A and B are shown apart, each in its own frame.
Chain A
């Protein structure tokens, strides 16, 4: 109980560092999830409904990438964007954008794979019915997306959950710099490493509160869609 009280106290009386941490976390997760969905949802739908050569290979690659360990995603992005790396001239190391890039690499396959599964399951029936009704191609695709929308909300939420709770990739490319790239998870890691378990746990509770806050409207939205 004490920890929850402390978490609430921290949340109500945030210091400059905590405000920055929560803000950076939200901004990072918002963009990671948003970009991953912009890339992954259409890709997943194409993959799910389409019939083309190499589809099963692509699906297998996607499923493999879904299990990409966060540290490996971080490592790949680090090798590409470090000063001596091929994209070093962009000078993105230790910034929020590079944390977003690493997370997009991590989350896009998950979004793609899940939306391919969601669209694939029903796309044949939906498209045959819509085509039989002589709806235009645009309307057919629109209907398919509309039918899958509740699952897409779940998928986006999962992406957000993965983004906000991920530490391996962001700590490697972000460097956990105070007032710059420190996010909830790297802060929790730092505090627990310092032995300040109270603050670490309080931060953890705040993290879960944020997840909960994101879940409530998403759930309501989903219910409404049915």
Chain B
């Protein structure tokens, strides 16, 4: 269980991330949604422990180091695709299967710095999945994929989390992706939690959350 209480993080004169209270149960998959500058990356970096809050507390309910974090622009290291993937392995991982699942099987021996933008992003996602983390914090991990590939990778991510019981927080701009992966939706707006609720509510748009979600979405 992730528990955030009275969190305040001031980033600039006109932007402060404020979350009075937020709980995420183990095994949930949360899609972070919100316009640019809403605080999505800041929240992920706070959870990853890269920055610390000015006030309040974050309790991951996990030992430090068991959360994997992927920044918005992850770096691919020198060496081949496969070598990059192996760098991410903690414990055991089926590297050939991961390569296959992420459409990288044919690129295993290719120099990673020569991959295309989409290929690099798939590699970085695969590298995260190889780490067997109990909490995955991913900052727009599928932004460079086309819609079809994005859908497929979203399903892969979902299956992976279901199988391992890992908790997932990922930011995204695409409602379809959010819908196909997440169990919960967290909408950030101007540093505050605008909405946080069950994905199922979306399927009943007449509910309060569904109405508000759709209203928020139009803001973007």
Count of A-B contacts judged by CB separation below 8 Å:
51
Judge whether A153 is part of the interface by a CB distance below 8 angstroms: no
Is there contact, CB below 8 Å, between B90 and A129? Answer: no
Residues of A within 8 A of B73 (CB): 125
A146 with B78, Cβ < 8 A, contacts A128-B50, A133-B127 known: yes
Is there contact, CB below 8 Å, between A125 and B113? Answer: no
Closest to A133 in B: B88
- Report Cα–Cα, A147/B76, bound state, in Å: 10
Closest to B139 in A: A132
Residues of A within 8 A of B74 (CB): 125, 129, 132
- Assign chain B's interface to a size class: 20 to 34
A132 with B78, Cβ < 8 A, contacts A226-B111, A226-B113 known: no
- Report Cα–Cα, A7/B124, bound state, in Å: 54
A131 with B50, Cβ < 8 A, contacts A122-B75, A143-B77, A226-B111 known: yes
Judge whether B155 is part of the interface by a CB distance below 8 angstroms: no
Closest to B72 in A: A128
Is there contact, CB below 8 Å, between A128 and B71? Answer: yes
Is there contact, CB below 8 Å, between B87 and A134? Answer: no
Residues of B within 8 A of A126 (CB): 75, 77
Closest to A225 in B: B78
- Report Cα–Cα, A143/B113, bound state, in Å: 15
Q: How far is the CB of B87 from chain A (nearest CB, A)?
A: 7
Closest to A135 in B: B87
Judge whether B48 is part of the interface by a CB distance below 8 angstroms: yes
Which of B5-13, B20-28, B62-70, B160-168 lies on the face that meets chain A?
A: B62-70
Is there contact, CB below 8 Å, between B68 and A134? Answer: yes
- Report Cα–Cα, A126/B113, bound state, in Å: 13
Residues facing A in B80-115 (CB within 8 A) are 87-88, 90, 111, 113
Residues of A within 8 A of B137 (CB): 132
Residues of A within 8 A of B48 (CB): 131-132
Q: How far is the CB of A192 from chain B (nearest CB, A)?
A: 45
- Report Cα–Cα, A38/B182, bound state, in Å: 51
- Report Cα–Cα, A96/B66, bound state, in Å: 55
Is there contact, CB below 8 Å, between A147 and B127? Answer: no
- Report Cα–Cα, A131/B88, bound state, in Å: 11
Residues of B within 8 A of A122 (CB): 75
Is there contact, CB below 8 Å, between A133 and B111? Answer: no
Residues of A within 8 A of B88 (CB): 133
Q: How far is the CB of B64 from chain A (nearest CB, A)?
A: 9
A147 with B78, Cβ < 8 A, contacts A128-B71, A226-B111 known: yes
Q: How far is the CB of A152 from chain B (nearest CB, A)?
A: 13
Judge whether B150 is part of the interface by a CB distance below 8 angstroms: no
- Nearest 3 Cβ contacts at the A-B interface: A132-B69, A129-B75, A125-B75
- Can you show 19 pairs from A to B with CB atoms below 8 A apart? A122-B75, A125-B73, A128-B71, A129-B74, A129-B124, A131-B69, A132-B48, A132-B68, A133-B88, A133-B127, A133-B128, A133-B131, A134-B65, A134-B66, A134-B131, A135-B87, A149-B78, A225-B78, A226-B111
- Listed in ascending order, the chain B residues whose CB lies under 8 Å from chain A are 48, 50, 65-71, 73-75, 77-78, 87-88, 90, 111, 113, 124, 127-128, 131, 133, 137
Given A125-B74, A134-B66; 12 other pairs, CB 8 A cutoff: A122-B75, A128-B50, A128-B71, A128-B75, A130-B75, A132-B74, A133-B127, A134-B65, A134-B68, A146-B78, A149-B78, A225-B78
